[in-house]
Chains A and B, each alone.
Chain A
């Protein structure tokens, strides 16, 4: 299932979304926005650019879930810095407690420690030539690699999302089976639930977006106190919400500096992954990749300014050293393999011109011809994200050349000049001849009428 939903009633077909999509997953077809489920990575760019708020993160009903008994809730780390004064975080966990959601964040924070440990081990155990490894934390990045860089799949670090690990850990430790809601900062995290990678089924049964819950809590007068002390004691996991936080955590686990590149935003990611493909990132050990500016703090479904939540996170007093007991507990958990993907990460099918290479070659020639006749300004009015995509779709047999307003204008100009030309002609039909009364002998009818 997609991580986004289009409200067709609110959509004005302004084509801003289809032009913003980094994987060109959107089209306007027969007057409505269509999203290709295979191609959507859940980055949320379309939501950011839509002036009419016609695209939303897919989520369940908060009103209904609040009233559901025996439900647990796991929040993405970015949730905890959404409120508070400058340099102080609000006690959002307490607000959730008051709503009756049991706090299992201890299990989740342990899972983040475990993920950092497992990643550190994978980096250390890997041959130098096969580094850097790539983070799998951001599901949008993971999907982008499955889709556009399948050749880099063996560079993905084989460690599951700590959010999933945390719930696995809680279930195993307590033997409990209640449903769990994920509080997500973005469509990609929503897809963690609906379209999981590396496992058959997600631990999460429902998804709610952070903005929804925060607005609700604030409208009900949530207090903006300080973060509970227990969080400051182990706030390492919260730092994953900020770009660079994951690297910091892994390095702390290793007890040595980690040569890592932290890249955020689609442009940086594309450049970085291309460079990796060409083998140009020699001495680098890890790539911490995030789709959003600042990391998950910049997720499209958060409520707070990413700059303010950044300030709060930076002012937290994080203790990066594990106690000996913590370390021993982690090593025991590590040995259970709970952190591993249970299924391989598979490449997603790329969108070529045809499954048959021979036919694709013919279509590519056709596409080049068609592209040469298009204006090349990528206006999107045709409902395709670029002139290039339009040419490709036409070559596949999807869409009409006259959906291009420039081609349509050309056709109209063409036709009208032909009409004009036809009008100027004096066809020698009996009727016209009669009406003008110029010809002799044949215009009888008019005379008869008189």
Chain B
């Protein structure tokens, strides 16, 4: 099988004001690769929300893009505080974002639910004090409902 297209992005903790840069680059790459627009739309949302969480909660980290003709995989990895209760974190509206972050318009608690809704498979691994790894896949060919 042919090797996938890989790309890495460093996401700096202090990038609150330029947030979305990695997501924008991911989108540009997917366009160049001729990925169908619906897949690009979903992948962009996943990448953007994952990037936000890296900056706001994870203390910065790294993002990975892996493209194969049949699917797009986006990962976000950090060595931040971790998530104590993943089930709770996945709930709509749940957020531990500070008042300050919320005043800036972030932290509505919809990030993880949005990632879930827009991906075909989602893996969230976290250990308190060690960090968090999120991996989301979006299938290219298969039609998806909802």
Contact = CB atoms under 8 A, between A and B. Distances in A.
Given A350-B37, A355-B34, 11 more contacts: A151-B41, A350-B31, A352-B32, A353-B32, A354-B34, A357-B33, A357-B69, A357-B140, A358-B69, A364-B5, A367-B32
Interface stretch (A188-196, A223-231, A249-257, A272-280): A272-280
B48 to A, nearest CB: 5
A150 B37 contact: yes
A355 B32 CA distance: 10
A356 to B, nearest CB: 8
A397 B28 CA distance: 20
Interface string B23-36: 11000010111110
23 contacts: A151-B37, A277-B45, A278-B20, A278-B44, A279-B45, A347-B37, A350-B31, A350-B37, A352-B31, A353-B34, A356-B34, A357-B67, A357-B140, A358-B2, A360-B34, A361-B2, A361-B4, A361-B5, A361-B69, A364-B5, A364-B29, A365-B5, A392-B32
Interface residues of A, number: 22
Interface in A323-357: 347, 350, 352-357
B33 A353 contact: yes
Nearest to A278: B48
Interface string A385-397: 0000000100000
10 closest A-B pairs by CB: A352-B34, A151-B41, A150-B37, A357-B69, A361-B5, A360-B33, A360-B34, A278-B48, A353-B32, A151-B37
Contacts of A356: 34
A367 B5 CA distance: 13
Contact of B33 (A151, A277, A278, A364): A364
A277 to B, nearest CB: 6
A361 B4 CA distance: 8
Interface residues of B, number: 24
Interface string A351-377: 011111110110011010000000000
B38 interface: yes
A143 to B, nearest CB: 15
B35 A357 contact: yes
B32 A364 contact: yes
B142 to A, nearest CB: 14
Interface string A402-446: 000000000000000000000000000000000000000000000
Contacts of B69: 357-358, 361
B50 to A, nearest CB: 12
Interface of A: 150-151, 274, 277-280, 347, 350, 352-358, 360-361, 364-365, 367, 392
A150 B44 CA distance: 13
Contacts of B33: 352-353, 357, 360-361, 364
Nearest to B114: A279
Contacts of A355: 34
A141 to B, nearest CB: 18
Contact of B32 (A151, A347, A358, A360): A360
Given A352-B32, A353-B32, A361 B67 contact: yes
A150 B38 CA distance: 8
Contacts of B29: 364
Nearest to B5: A361
Contacts of A350: 31, 34, 37
B22 interface: no
A358 B34 CA distance: 10
Interface in B54-97: 67, 69
Contacts of B44: 277-278
Contacts of A360: 32-34
Chain B CB count within 10 A is highest, among A357, A360, A392, for A357
B112 interface: no
A326 B68 CA distance: 59
B40 interface: yes
A24 to B, nearest CB: 12
B40 A151 contact: yes
A392 B34 CA distance: 13
A201 B91 CA distance: 50
